[in-house]
Homo-oligomer: A and B are copies of this chain.
Amino acid sequence: MAAARRQVDIAADMGESPGPWPMGRDRDIVPYLTSAHIACGFHASDPATIRTTIELLREHEVAIGAHPGYPDLVGFGRRRMDLAPRDVEDLVLYQVAAVKGMVEAFGGRLQHVKPHGALYNVAEVDDGTAQAIVAAIKRADPELAIVATPHSRLCAHATAAGMAVAREFFLDRGYNADGTLVSRRRAGAMLTDPEAMCRRAVAASRDGRFETDDGATVEVQVDTICLHGDHGPSHVAVQRLRRMLEAAGIAVAPLGTFARAR
């Protein structure tokens, strides 16, 4: 059984515009975040967008993570690619190095890495991919935290490698009774009621479990709460989420301040 948590991070993917195309509502949600995941230029973003996003996050004192993905701009990194583990390792190392170096060039420090989209999904179940990601991140900087879902192979391999792990909970995604996410191809993949989102996130963060609409109890472990900035209801929810968490006795802080100490 998961222990109750006293601290949690609120995070979102950011900087997902390649060139002139807008995605997400970065400026609207940044005031409510403690961490953010920056796309690294392979599934989204480009050098100018990365820089602008770093500047925005530093202005708002939001902790920064790299968000590497498959090299598939048109598919937004959401299509699985059959890469050898060695290719995954090099791909992740390159992307993390690029964003880490840019963050440091602007006086900051990279806090964590979270794989994106299909790469994240594959790393939940595939040992080769999960190990390659952990190897790349550790090589880039052994102090980096790794964001992963609690029961994933990524979480297991990161822990085994002695890396700090932040277990991720999704504010706005539907969960199946077994703790996996409802597929994006199904109804219920995205929640639409901001109030219900927040209540569920508070329960999950405080109790390590929550109830689904059909009465199932889902056990979760929550170090960081992720929301999707381009989803309207999430934008509404995040504005009250912090207050509700704090009212429930849960401190809100960047994951770098507690993931390693856990």
Contact = CB atoms under 8 A, between A and B. Distances in A.
Contacts of A207: none
A8 to B, nearest CB: 29
A75 interface: yes
B83 A82 contact: no
Interface in A69-109: 71-76, 79-83, 86-87, 90-91, 93-102, 104-106
A101 B97 contact: yes
A46 B19 contact: no
Contacts of A20: 23, 76
A64 B46 CA distance: 25
Interface string A11-49: 000000111111100000000000000000100001110
Contacts of A48: 74, 86-87, 90-91
B101 A140 contact: yes
Nearest to A138: B105
A113 interface: no
Nearest to A139: B105
Name, among A50, A82, A83, A140, the residue most crowded by chain B CB atoms within 10 Å (CB to CB).
Answer: A82
11 contacts: A19-B73, A19-B76, A21-B23, A41-B94, A47-B95, A48-B74, A75-B81, A75-B83, A75-B87, A97-B101, A98-B101
Interface of A: 17-23, 41, 46-48, 50-51, 71-76, 79-83, 86-87, 90-91, 93-102, 104-106, 118, 139-140
